[in-house]
Amino acid sequence: MFRYRRWALGALAVVASAALCASSAATAATAPPTAASPAAKPTGPAAHATALVHEMSVAEQAATVVMGHIAGTDPTALRAYMDSGLGGFILMGANIPASERELQSLTAAMTIDPALPPLIAVDQEGGIVSRLHGDDDAASTTLKGRPVDDTSAAFTARGSLVARAGITVNFGTVADFTADSGTFIYGRALGTDAASAADRVAAATTAQEQFLASTLKHFPGHGAAAGDSHSSIPSTTMGLDEWRDTEAVPFAAGIDAGAALLMYGHLAYTAVDALPASLSPKWHEIARDELGFEGVAVTDDLGMLLSSGNPAYADPVANGVAAIAAGNDLVLMIAGSDAQTAGKMAAGIASAVEAGTLPAERLEEAATRVLTLRTELSASSARWTLCADCEPAD
């Protein structure tokens, strides 16, 4: 049985999973990102990010707020794709090679500037949604009925598995909840009610943030909006007061636990805003002002809006511009995309700024948040090796 080993590094500690131990090269743990505040002069990573953004052209800022995707496992092709300056890349199943060593080589190849690596993301929820080989730990299908400590253990192992592959962002924490086993999201939810979901979401967040930037999804809550957002825009008439007492609770718990990213779902709470939350300034305001979220706001796959069949969302570039305008800091598109899609989206965002239809300050704010997170992650370096005889953690 493999065990944990804790390596103390000054005032910080990096925790290795049950199957891993970190080498002494680990230097710093990831901290939740802090956006540049107009009320206070930024310091640390935020100050560095602010300086970088001020030196960038509008086109460079726009590329920074786009997370791209192409299929394939050729490190040379993926490196060439990332050489355009995109802020991130999401790995899907078609990007995962047979061995872990090959995956590590692939993720390393995508880092053009070691001082400022891109955000490399994956959907590794475990169970129903798994991209990586070797994740045999408990997932939402069983964790919702088990003690909270089991969620901590499972996501500690999961987070370290993801991190050792060179992946820095996990879109892996489902903060939605529902008691209806017939719904789309039930099997992926960590709880069947607000309180049980909140406990497990907080545990999963705390566990993963030791290793990488974790993400809460699908804000403001898929449980109340029945339907599959991969092919429609699920809606609910739930009002804001009821939402605060129910769907908001697990998201608030995850934010308080330090989640670095918040993913906005293509969900319409029509009593709050007719627009899907991913394109809603109102929902971004609520997350920032009411829940105190200060990290990176990211869209769910914008390709899902195309798949909804709604003609209002037929233009992927327009969707990207609208998403940034609404308050997202990072736009993501997978379904329906090709090797040129991310570049077109970045160009469209830049054009909107130059035309005056997207405020330059909004793009700068988004780019600063993304670069703050990238700067923080660049300070965290750990080389992972299999460890069969690690001592238990304190």
Catalytic residues: 230, 300
By three-state DSSP, how is residue 126 classified? strand
**d(C-alpha 17, C-alpha 159), whole Å:** 8
Measured CA to CA, the distance from residue 255 to residue 138 in angstroms comes to 23
Residue ranges of alpha helices (H) inside the chain are 44-55, 58-64, 75-82, 100-109, 140-143, 148-164, 194-208, 240-245, 248-256, 281-289, 303-307, 316-326, 341-355, 360-378
Rounded to an integer, what distance in angstroms lies between the CA atom of residue 37 and that of residue 34? 8
* Length of the chain in terms of residues written: 394
Instruction: For Cα atoms 104, 107, 113, give the angle at the middle one, nearest 5 degrees.
Output: 125
User: Is the separation of the CB atoms in 260 and 373 below 8 Å?
Assistant: yes
Q: Report the distance separating Cα 114 and Cα 238, nearest Å.
A: 46
Evaluate whether 338 touches 20 at the Cβ level (below 8 Å).
no
